[in-house]
């Protein structure tokens, strides 16, 4: 740009700044009744457009609120309701009603009902009724809990598919933050596949959380994360906070992962998890990836193999990097652990490996992890 052009540009910028300053400092003029009415008319037309767009949220809320429950749990009561005159410390959280094979259940987090028997758990429905579960199951390693319920007029939620969720999708969180039941907040999916979080309940081994900026506070645990189709795509479980309140970072268990556990608990009373039989290298990063010929650190590197395991039988070797598991790209070691843990025992799974700067494919039949655990 020449000197003339630079001078002209600076002059225009100065003139724009001066005009802007005049506009900012200018005293607003009073509107006549006609002008005011005309502006209200324009605003009404503009608001109608946005209200039509926002109506989808109102519809979702109408569908979902009757499916959400408030849960109060009293630790230490195995089977009987609380006796009059006694006081106990209560945990509070949320849950969502679902229907599985014609029967009704409430999905929630294990940490909401931890230490309580069915008599110590009170479920408040959206219509004000209070009921007790008839049976409960839980899984410490995934923070999943399922409560069987039996009452007339229950409204089940519709389940979505969390594998179809994308970053940026709009979502609603429904629950009982600070005991304020059936509160609704709105946001987006901020990230997927969050793992290795310090949640305060250290038993949670399998983590693959959805992250959202929809406000989640204490009491939201166990409540549903809903997409704009009114489907449950996650169960809210934790927040990242220095203050104990919402700071825009909340986490939900993907509903696919939750239901993998919940269905087994209902059908068998326990969770059978698959076993591959590999030890994974936590040091695998950019430097090691470049050394073996990968453009970036992707996949999970094998540092050891359990004798007589599926991995040993299939011919996996120390130093192999598992790039794909059952058709899914493996992001890192934690991702592979979750993929194996949510695959049915006995399934024959295709793997894609990186070995000696080449890719190769093979199949492995997963075993039952319980067979390889140390004897108690």
Name the residues annotated as catalytic.
111, 143, 221
- Work out the number of other CB atoms within 10 angstroms of the CB of residue 346: 11
Angle (nearest 5°) at CA 236 between 209 and 221? 130
Based on the number of CB atoms within 10 Å of its own CB, is 348 exposed (0-12), middle (13-18) or buried (19 or more)?
A: exposed
Tokens of 24: 């900012």
Question: Contact 336/280 with Cβ under 8 angstroms?
Answer: yes
Please state, in angstroms and as integers, the Cα–Cα distance from residue 194 to each residue in 123, 251, 334, 338, 342, following that order. 30, 8, 9, 11, 16
Which residue in 124, 241, 229, 140 sits closest to 176, CA to CA?
124
Distance of CA 300 to the CA centre of its chain: 23
H/E stretch holding 38: helix 33-64
Structure tokens at 106: 């409430």
* Residue 338: half-sphere exposure toward Cβ, Cα within 13 Å: 24
Alpha-carbon distances of 174 from 9, 275, 347, rounded to whole Å: 53, 35, 36
> Nearest Cα to 339, choosing from 259, 275, 296?
275
CA distance 372 to 349: 19
């Amino acid at each position: 740009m020449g000197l003339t052009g630079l001078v002209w540009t600076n002059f225009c910028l100065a003139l724009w700044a001066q005009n802007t300053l005049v506009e900012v400092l200018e005293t607003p003029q009073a509107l006549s009744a006609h002008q005011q009415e005309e502006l209200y008319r324009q605003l009404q037309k503009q608001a109608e457009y946005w209200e039509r767009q926002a109506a989808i949220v109102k519809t979702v809320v109408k569908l979902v609120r009757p499916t959400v429950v408030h849960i109060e749990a009293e630790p230490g009561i195995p089977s009987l309701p609380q006796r009059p005159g006694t006081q106990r410390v209560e945990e509070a959280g949320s849950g969502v009603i679902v229907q599985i094979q014609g029967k009704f259940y409430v999905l929630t987090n294990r940490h909401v009902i931890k230490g309580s028997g069915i008599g110590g758990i009170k479920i408040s429905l959206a219509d004000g009724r209070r009921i007790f579960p008839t049976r409960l199951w839980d899984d410490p390693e995934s923070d999943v809990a399922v409560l069987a319920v039996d009452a007339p007029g229950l409204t089940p939620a519709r389940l979505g598919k969390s594998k179809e969720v994308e970053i940026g999708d709009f979502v609603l969180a429904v629950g009982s933050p600070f005991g304020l039941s059936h509160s609704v907040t709105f946001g987006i999916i901020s990230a997927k596949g969050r793992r290795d979080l310090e949640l305060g309940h250290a038993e949670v081994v399998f983590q693959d959380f959805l992250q959202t900026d929809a406000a989640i506070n204490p009491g939201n645990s166990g409540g549903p994360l809903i997409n704009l189709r009114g489907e449950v795509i996650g169960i809210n479980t934790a927040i990242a906070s220095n203050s104990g309140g919402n700071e825009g970072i909340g986490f939900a268990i993907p509903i696919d992962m939750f239901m993998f556990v919940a269905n087994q608990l209902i059908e068998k009373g326990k969770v059978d998890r698959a076993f591959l039989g590999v030890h994974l290298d936590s040091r695998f990063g950019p430097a090691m990836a470049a050394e073996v010929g990968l453009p970036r650190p992707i996949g999970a590197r094998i540092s050891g193999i359990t004798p007589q395991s599926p991995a040993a039988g299939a011919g996996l070797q120390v130093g192999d990097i598992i790039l794909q598991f059952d058709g899914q790209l493996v992001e890192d070691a934690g991702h592979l652990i979750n993929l194996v843990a949510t695959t049915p025992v006995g399934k024959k799974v295709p793997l894609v490996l990186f070995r000696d700067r080449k890719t190769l494919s093979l199949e492995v039949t997963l075993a039952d992890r319980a067979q390889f655990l140390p004897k108690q």
